[in-house]
Amino acid sequence: MYYYYKTPIDRVPMLLLLLFSSTVALQFQTKTMTLPGPNCLKRCGDVDISYPFGIGAGCAMEGFELSCSKTDAHSILKFSGEIPVQTILLSEGQVRIMKHISTMSYNPSSKEIDQDIWGRNLSATPFLYSGKSNMFTVIGVNTLAYMTDNVVTCDYWVCLGPRPTTISWHKMGSAEVPAAAELDSLRTCPTTFNTTYLNTTAFFDEHAGRVPVILNWAVGNETCDIARKKNGSYACLSTSSMCVDSSRGSGYLCNCIKGYEGNPYLPHGCQDIDECATNKPPCAGCINIPGSFYCPSPRSLNVVALAVGSSIGAATVVIAITCTYLFHERKKLAKIKQKYFQQHGGMLLLQEISLKQGIAFSLFTEAELIEATDKFDNKNILGRGGHGTVYKGTLKEGSLIAVKRCVSMTSEQQKQEFGKEMIILSQINHRNIVKLLGCCLEVEVPMLVYEFVPNGTLFQLIHGDNGCHNIPFSTRLRIALESALALAYLHSWASPPILHGDVKSSNILLDENYSAKVSDFGASILAPTDESQFVTLVQGTCGYLDPEYMQTCQLTDKSDVYSFGVVLLELLTGKKAFNLEGPENERSLALRFLCAVKEGRLMDIIDSRIKNVNDIGLLEEVAELSRQCLEMVGERRPAMRDVAEKLDRLSKVMQHPWVPAQHNPEEMESLVGESSVASLEMIGSGNFSMEKRIVQGLLESGR
């Protein structure tokens, strides 16, 4: 620190310069350790900030708080809010600051002393002025200066207080002496004066009236042995640190042990020094160990080299074997997939797709369908059946699909004909049939991919929570007609004809407008019976299965007619096709219906919610059509196209313009929700009726 005294040309000049640095010793016991958070500043201007120093709450140990003063040009790290900090020396326990220069001069005219004396009392801080690292300098003539270890007062040219260090200078110039001991405060005073002028202003302009000073510091006010016994306040937190008592006699410093470097005041702050990683390693074959290094003998180097070489060789062999195994396994899997693909007629299917333009049919990979269904997660299951499980899926472009994983194939012939059958099924295009989008052939049992139909099945609509009572008779008749049209198309207009083989209410899906879409046609594995017809190998569903098929094991188009007759009964009665919980003679809906017709109790079995005196004729006509479909002998049953035509005529009778509507839109609102009422009404939701003889007359006339 410089103490600088100056007067005008008619005043007595005296310049006292004190240049010193001091280490900081903590003068109080740290109660708790506050570790810096990730957002604490690590640098201010050109100065690195190391804990225990820090800026802001929670960033510094108590007593080591600094501040970062930002100017237009740069940032300055400051101590006590005003003293610039140049360097923090963590291992030495020192901090270098820029201290203010003090001046004092005598004014003869006023006989008063003009003084700018800067003294800083550090007794309440962790810092002390260093006695070894600073030089006390005085510039002036006939000057006497004092350096004290406590605060002294200067009254004109009389200095009061202890005088451990005295500098006397009687000629113009300067004098320097080392500061004898560490001090917590400093003041200087002049005793004699001379009128000689000494202009030293330019000398200090560069430093803006400040000179460098070293402060010593230490943590706490006890020795290392005492500090270690106190939980929560011991500052040497790194496991690779050591504690050093302060030379002052109280407080201590933390240093990293030999072979480590870093910040000992932080957990894991001291890190091992890798001596072997330097540009010039200490020895050949240098091996780094924690805190030191090891230089093996030449023989050891050979052994190590041999061991390392052997290890690398063994690792290389293991990696090579693993890669070879994985390569062969992948190749083996690819061959298996190729085998399945060819086995299921994939090459033929590819050839047909390339030859026939306009076929919207895709061959999916197993990986695509696994990704689309989220690895066939159970949450995506839409339904289970005897032939497999159907999953909801989403393709990469966002379109929804339904993926059916079939259970098994029962014969090699089925596998060989599968590709041909897929070509036939892919060409089916009917608005009331679920579209088959593609298949996956590279698995043991092929997977089929259909368009996604959002509103569930007819079975759920009839027997679900809402119940059949919410469905108007006109809607039931429309769904029956649409289903019959789909089956008639498969039987009579598809080339070659296709038999469904598993017609039931759970295989009739409902789209966003609650229009019927027949599904699972050919979803069971298809097998040819002759060169022109492909049929389904049926496991069948109890309650829907054709009794004639049970006797002959021959599936015909009339087998689908029988099953459809059971679906008609479900729509008429609101009851399930087979009910295990009922009496034995009432478990089969078909047998129960036929008995009721035979005994003249038809209206007893019809759903009471659709019975209306004006609709009795239409109900009887639909019931009679159901009875014809349920004939025990297949030849007596009508063809599906005849069933569709009759349902179409009955539907038109209900929509005859001179018959007033019976039902109101509120009935449909409870069925499908407010948003779907309008679309269903457009299809036709009102019930119309007329006298039975008028109905019969219209039917006979072909209207």
Which pLDDT tens digit goes with each residue over 125-142? 888 888 888 887 777 766
Would you state the pLDDT for residue 96? 92
- 344 in any annotated domain: no
DSSP 8-state code for residue 506: G
Q: Answer with the residue of higher pLDDT: 612 or 160.
A: 612
| Percent of the chain at pLDDT exceeding 70 | 70
Do 21 and 100 fall into the same domain? yes
Do 47 and 26 fall into the same domain? yes
pLDDT higher than 60, residue 529: no
- 393 in any annotated domain: yes
**Cα 233 from Cα 235, distance rounded (Å):** 6
The enclosing domain of 411 has a CATH number of: 3.30.200.20
Secondary structure E strands in 21-172: 21-24, 43-44, 47-48, 54-55, 65-70, 75-79, 83-89, 94-100, 103-107, 112-116, 127-129, 135-140, 143-147, 153-155, 158-160, 165-169
Would you state the pLDDT for residue 486? 94
Do 26 and 158 fall into the same domain? yes
Tell me the two tokens of residue 693: 């003889």
- 290 in any annotated domain: no
pLDDT higher than 70, residue 374: yes
Would you state the pLDDT for residue 414? 64
Domain that holds residue 112: 2-217
Predicted confidence band at 572 (pLDDT cuts at 50, 70, 90)? Answer: very high
Lowest mean pLDDT among 39-48, 162-171, 441-450: 162-171
Would you state the pLDDT for residue 150? 42
C-alpha closest to that of 27 among 229, 183, 256, 241: 183
- 47 in any annotated domain: yes
Do 684 and 535 fall into the same domain? yes
Do 497 and 515 fall into the same domain? yes
Would you state the pLDDT for residue 185? 60
pLDDT higher than 90, residue 310: no
Q: Answer with the residue of higher pLDDT: 613 or 274.
A: 274
Last residue of a domain, one of 398, 416, 451: 451
60-112, pLDDT tens digit by residue? 888 888 999 887 667 888 887 788 998 999 888 899 998 888 777 777 777 67
Do 470 and 574 fall into the same domain? yes
Q: What is the pTM of this model?
A: 0.49
Would you state the pLDDT for residue 360? 75
Predicted confidence band at 591 (pLDDT cuts at 50, 70, 90)? Answer: very high
How far apart, in Å, are the Cα atoms of 321 and each of 173, 327, 329? Answer: 87, 10, 12
Predicted confidence band at 25 (pLDDT cuts at 50, 70, 90)? Answer: very low
pLDDT higher than 50, residue 326: yes
Do 535 and 598 fall into the same domain? yes
- 44 in any annotated domain: yes
pLDDT higher than 90, residue 564: yes
pLDDT higher than 90, residue 351: no
Do 626 and 536 fall into the same domain? yes
Would you state the pLDDT for residue 168? 45
Do 579 and 511 fall into the same domain? yes
Do 89 and 33 fall into the same domain? yes
Tell me the two tokens of residue 80: 């006590």
The enclosing domain of 539 has a CATH number of: 1.10.510.10
Would you state the pLDDT for residue 620? 92
Do 70 and 159 fall into the same domain? yes
Phi, psi at 370, each rounded to 5°: -65, -45
Lowest mean pLDDT among 121-130, 185-194, 619-628: 185-194
Last residue of a domain, one of 400, 425, 451: 451
Predicted confidence band at 280 (pLDDT cuts at 50, 70, 90)? Answer: confident
Instruction: Tell me the mean pLDDT in the region 683-698.
Output: 34
Tell me the two tokens of residue 263: 């910040």
Would you state the pLDDT for residue 509? 93
pLDDT higher than 90, residue 272: yes
* Binding site listing for ATP: 404
pLDDT higher than 90, residue 393: yes
Lowest mean pLDDT among 140-144, 226-230, 461-465: 140-144
Instruction: Tell me the mean pLDDT in the region 171-176.
Output: 48
Would you state the pLDDT for residue 570? 94
DSSP 8-state code for residue 444: S
pLDDT higher than 80, residue 694: no
Would you state the pLDDT for residue 171? 41
Amino acid in the structure at residue 443:
V
Mean pLDDT of the chain: 75
The separation between CA 60 and the C-alpha centre of its own chain, rounded to angstroms, equals: 36
Q: Could you tell me whether strands 14-15 and 135-140 are parallel, antiparallel, or unpaired per DSSP bridges?
A: antiparallel
Residue 30, classed as helix, strand or coil, is coil
Residues belonging to the active site: 502
Would you state the pLDDT for residue 649? 94
Predicted confidence band at 33 (pLDDT cuts at 50, 70, 90)? Answer: low
**Cα dihedral 74, 79, 83, 86 sign:** negative
Would you state the pLDDT for residue 233? 82
- 302 in any annotated domain: no
**Cα 589 from Cα 544, distance rounded (Å):** 9
**Cα 433 from Cα 521, distance rounded (Å):** 9
Would you state the pLDDT for residue 621? 93
- 314 in any annotated domain: no
Predicted confidence band at 114 (pLDDT cuts at 50, 70, 90)? Answer: low
Predicted confidence band at 56 (pLDDT cuts at 50, 70, 90)? Answer: confident
Do 514 and 644 fall into the same domain? yes
Predicted confidence band at 656 (pLDDT cuts at 50, 70, 90)? Answer: low
Phi-psi region of 580 (alpha: psi -120 to 50; beta: other; left: phi over 0): alpha
Would you state the pLDDT for residue 702? 37
Last residue of a domain, one of 414, 430, 451: 451
Helix residue spans in 244-363 (DSSP H): 298-343, 346-355
Predicted confidence band at 51 (pLDDT cuts at 50, 70, 90)? Answer: very high
pLDDT higher than 90, residue 335: no
pLDDT higher than 70, residue 697: no
**Cα 547 from Cα 591, distance rounded (Å):** 11
**How many domains, in total, are found in the chain?**
4
Instruction: Tell me the mean pLDDT in the region 642-665.
Output: 72
Q: Answer with the residue of higher pLDDT: 342 or 673.
A: 342
- 279 in any annotated domain: no
Would you state the pLDDT for residue 659? 47
* Binding site listing: 404
